[in-house]
Amino acid sequence: MAGSRWLIWSYGLVALFVLILFGRGNPMATLLLGTWLPLPLLLVGWRLGTWAAALLALAAALLVFALNPGVAVFQDNLGLWMILLMALILTFCHHRGWPEGSGIIMTVAALGLLGLVFFLGQAFFEGLSPAVLWEQKSRELTEALARMFQEAGMSFSDLRLMGLPRVDVEKLLIQVLPALALINLSLVAWVNILVVQRLGTLWGWDDLGAPLSQWASPEWLVFFLVAAGFALLAPLLWVRQAGLNLLLVMGFVYFCQGLAVISALLQRYHLPWVLRGLVYILAFMNPLLLVVMILGLTDLWLNFRTLQPPRET
């Protein structure tokens, strides 16, 4: 049994090192491979425990320090530290017996609060106001996104072809950057947990938790959605921007709940995987994305997943 545990941990270490090394080539590789960085940690953590995942994260941190020795490695790899910490918090929540959807919400909230503390601390030590540092960081991010779009043969002006109206996309990105960061973390956590549950089922693992298709957001979150709507009517600019970010985050929460409802219905009627994949792809497109959000919101009162329970055979 001890040899088996060591073998699982070693496989996780190799997979994590491969993702880190090959994801350092260019921004596109970082985006694609970085999405799956939590996967080895979650697989090891769910199977062997939180301490095994923590040791794996420590090994990854030592690798990064070996590749880039110096104090600057802390700030240059902030996204990586967030991803590693995300996997550890999700593993902890899983072993505490919390529903995976609630674990994602708690993990993203903790990472968002930690990011805010780090941002304010950096502004304090650099002698800058939070507004000035925010403008500086936003400019760096938009430049990085512009380079990534350029490598893909696109530009910011091409985003209107995806269904977005003719707006100043760079200015909009700066305004909704906090919401986009939280949504990105949530998506990464959601996708990786789905894959872990799928792989665990194929490998015959026990205690994988409730499927995300059964997840429902807490009912009290709807008050944050209402508050975000009222904040958009406020006369102060910063209040409107905060309301816009909160509205996007809450919209994503109910979009996930709508996806969970769709997934449960597709599983109930045993539709083929090809058709399910097509439905999921369409759910992320405009304007069906808004329909999925409304479906998730109305599920709070109608509870679509219990309207027609599956028949016994």
Mean pLDDT confidence for 120-143? 82
CA distance 34 to 48: 23
pLDDT number for residue 162: 46
pLDDT bin (cut points 50, 70, 90) of residue 1 is very low
% of the chain exceeding 70 in pLDDT: 88
Torsion on CA atoms 251, 257, 260, 262, rounded to nearest 10:
-70
- Range in 45-54, 152-161, 281-290 the model is least confident about: 152-161
Mean pLDDT of 33-50: 91
Instruction: Check residue 55 and give its pLDDT.
Output: 95
CA-to-CA distance for 267 and 305, rounded, in angstroms? 11
Of residues 103, 109, 101, the one with CA closest to residue 264: 101
Which of the residue ranges 220-224, 228-232, 240-244, 270-274 would you say has the lowest mean pLDDT? 270-274
- In this predicted structure, what is the pLDDT of residue 25? 64
Mean pLDDT confidence for 128-149 = 77
**What is residue 284's predicted lDDT score, i.e. its pLDDT?**
85
Whole-number pLDDT of residue 169 = 62
- 70 has a pLDDT exceeding 90: no
| Contacts of 70 by beta carbon, 8 Å cutoff, 6+ apart | none
pLDDT for 78 equals 84
pLDDT for residue 312 is more than 50: no
* Residue 56 predicted with pLDDT over 60: yes
- Does position 76 have pLDDT exceeding 90, yes or no? no
Taking 70 as the threshold, does the pLDDT of residue 12 lie above it?
yes
For residues 276-299, average pLDDT: 87
Angle (CA) 287-253-84 rounded to 5° is 120
Average pLDDT, the chain: 83
- pLDDT tens track for 242-273: 999 999 999 999 999 999 999 888 888 888 88
Confidence label for 2 from pLDDT (cuts 50, 70 and 90): very low
DSSP for 220-263, written as a single string? GGHHHHHHHHHHTT-SSHHHHHHHHHHHHHHHHHHHHHHHHHHH
204-218: average pLDDT: 82
- Answer yes or no: is pLDDT of 29 > 80: no
87-98, pLDDT tens digit by residue? 999 999 999 988
Asked if the model's pLDDT at residue 77 lies above 80, the reply is yes
Is the CA virtual torsion 175, 180, 107, 266 positive or negative? positive
Q: pLDDT higher for 284 or 143?
A: 284
